[in-house]
Amino acid sequence: MSRIADLLGALRREVGKVVVGHEEAVRLILIALVSEGHVLLEGVPGLAKTTLVRALAAALGLEFKRLQFTPDLMPSDIIGTQIFDFQTGKFHLVEGPVFTNLLLADEINRAPAKPQSALLESMQERQVSIEGAARALPQPFLVLATQNPIEYEGTYPLPEAQLDRFLFKIRLDYPSLDEEERVLAQHRGDTAGLSTLLSSVHPVGGAEELAAAKEQALAVEIRPPVVRYLLELVRRTRDNVHIQLGGSPRASLMLQVAARVAAALEGRDYVIPDDVKDMFAPVLRHRILLTASAEVEGLGADGVLRSILDAVPVPR
């Protein structure tokens, strides 16, 4: 078994001490970390999104910070600012929460354009600009943003340029009956009980393990027929009758990167079409914009993407 697969197994065991279910989300977040991509988590309140990220950070031995996005949020609340010290007569930098490994941007769509643009630079360049000077962020650096899919009051739609910076959009659903029963048995429901559970999570990896996993993924081969299959899938989103805005070349690149890591997770040094199909919806669902008629008909992004997967021949 590959090193990255071993890491995933260990992560699931440790995160499972605190969070019941969400195993696919753990897998996709690990793929994002190895791919140096960011993740948009969508789910109704109460699905343990924050707890999931905290448990992942603890299991990877990475620094974690949480930032609540609100309409009055300022860019300096994210990146930090220069403060004048009257004792020394000099300015010194007070770093914002973006200087971390895992940044949970909670309810990201509640902040207006200025703070969003500040976050955009950190997501794309892995740096922030403060008083005209660029400062590099810690490595690894991953933004895990959450948004509520049903509440629109007091929210700002994320611009397409920012959505395109997220590698995955992961949808978290309600747990099954058995899973919810395990939640009730495992959790007391108070802060002290959650802290006790989080303290039981032991680091099973870290920055070095993630770097080694990235090197393993970079060595994964993707053959020309699979590349053409990948490109055909993305290009079909650009001329589909139900899609107003299709996937960009960045979408093709991100799909290739994610498919490589997915193949490495399976212990293979080559990509197969199933790896591409597996990553297609998480990579593309937030990068396409459906037409008004498609929304009137009740078609969702996943359904349209599934129809594209069914229509494109799989290479042998």
User: What is the predicted pLDDT for the residue at 154?
Assistant: 60
Angle, helix 3-15 to helix 207-218, in steps of 10 degrees: 140
The phi and psi torsions of 117 (rounded to 5 degrees) equal: -70, -35
Q: How confident is the model at residue 152 (pLDDT cuts 50, 70, 90)?
A: low
Q: How far is CA 83 from CA 86, 88, 162, 179, in A?
A: 9, 11, 29, 48
Q: Note the Cα 311 to chain centre separation in Å.
A: 28
What 3-state class would DSSP assign to 60? helix
Please tell me whether residues 113 and 174 are part of one structural domain.
yes
- Per-residue HEC secondary structure of 248-283 comes to CHHHHHHHHHHHHHHHHHCCCCECCHHHHHHHHHHH
Please tell me whether residues 187 and 255 are part of one structural domain.
no
Amino acid (one-letter) located at 38: H
For the stretch 109-120, pLDDT in tens is: 888 888 888 888
Q: Last residue of a domain, which of 209, 228, 261?
A: 209
Q: Last residue of a domain, which of 175, 209, 243?
A: 209
Q: Note the Cα 10 to chain centre separation in Å.
A: 20
Range(s) of the domain holding residue 244 = 219-311
The average pLDDT across 81-86 equals 79
Amino acid (one-letter) located at 152: Y
Please tell me whether residues 172 and 280 are part of one structural domain.
no
Specify if 214 maps to a domain.
Answer: no
Q: Which residues contact residue 29 at a Cβ distance below 8 angstroms, ignoring those fewer than 6 apart? A: 39, 56, 142, 144, 170
Please tell me whether residues 34 and 63 are part of one structural domain.
yes
For the stretch 34-45, pLDDT in tens is: 999 999 998 888
Please tell me whether residues 79 and 14 are part of one structural domain.
yes
